[in-house]
Structure formats: structure tokens, C-alpha cells
Amino acid sequence: MRCFERWFRRAVLPLSFSEGFHPKPRMMFPAPLAVGIEGLDEVMELELSASQSAEAIHSRLLQHSPPGFRVRSVEALPPGTPKARPRAFRYRVHVPPECRAGLAEDVRRLLASPSALVERPGGRAAVDVRPLLDDLKFEDGVLSMCLAVPPSGGAAPRDLLAALGRADLLQEGARVQRTTVEVH
């Protein structure tokens, strides 16, 4: 978050700050990433203290962006607009060659089943990942998935891998990328 704060200050954006002894800029990710997952197309909400056009904000951010960061779009929302809520996440899991055998069949089996209950560690409630699964494919060593996010909470890629019987993929070197965040 500190990187974003510095970026926004370099871009001379009129940030709105929280109250209190240690004011912080009012910015948030509606769907923070878990540790170890790369985000390729994330959504951030930023509150400004003065009105700015989306084009002006976008231009300033592009001029001052740190290496590796890109701003695809900026949308100015009217005051009072509710906070964004995630509707679905798209992920890609790059599966190491030595772990690919039988994965296509595991995907077909999961897609054919009406439910897939996954027990979660740490005493968290079990989740049925099958109704949350909007899309699942395994092609060219990449497992692609789209997971819906209901109001009660969704599932993570690790839950889907457990449903496939491949919970160990993350320890075997699989790389997970969140490619899209769809919001309401």
C-alpha cells in the first residue's frame, strides 16, 4: 500500500485521508490477494478530496507509474456510490510439467459432479466449490478457472485444487495468477 501512496503523491492526486492520530489515504482493494498469488488486473478504490476527471487521473498515473505497474483504466464514481463488491475472479495456474499427468481427467470428473465439498484447514467451514465454478479448463499446462463470489463468501484456488485432488500443486511449484476481478 505504501508503494501506491507514494505513486499517488508523485502524481499529485488530492488524496482524502482518514481521521485520527495517524491519518492514512482512503484507498482499498475490494478483493485483496492472498500471499503468493500474482495479480494481473486488479481493482482499487481511491477517495480524493477534490473532484478530478478520470482522464486527468489516468494521465497523471501513467506519467508517474513505478516499473511493473500499469493503469488500464480509471473510472470516476459519483459521491455516495457503494463500494465495489467482487462478483467473480478468474485465475490461471501454471502447472509444472511433472504434475500434469491425469489433470485433464480430474477436471472432467469435477465438471461432471454436482458438488465438490472441500474441508478447509484451521477450523474454517467447508465449502462446496462446484456451484461457485463458472469455468474450468486445462490446456497447454495451464489450469484456467472462474470462481463466482456469492455474498456468503467464495472459494480460493487452493480450494479448487483440493477438489481436483491436487492440493499439493502449490507446494510442487505451480504458479497462480489472478487475471481478472469482476465487480458489481
Give alpha helix (H) positions in the chain: 2-10, 54-63, 103-112, 157-163
pLDDT in tens, 125-171: 889 999 999 999 999 999 999 999 988 778 899 999 999 999 999 89
CA dihedral 133, 138, 141, 144 (to 10 degrees): -30
Q: Structure pTM?
A: 0.85
pLDDT in tens, 20-38: 999 999 999 888 888 889 9
Task: Name the band, by pLDDT with cuts 50, 70 and 90, for residue 89.
Answer: very high
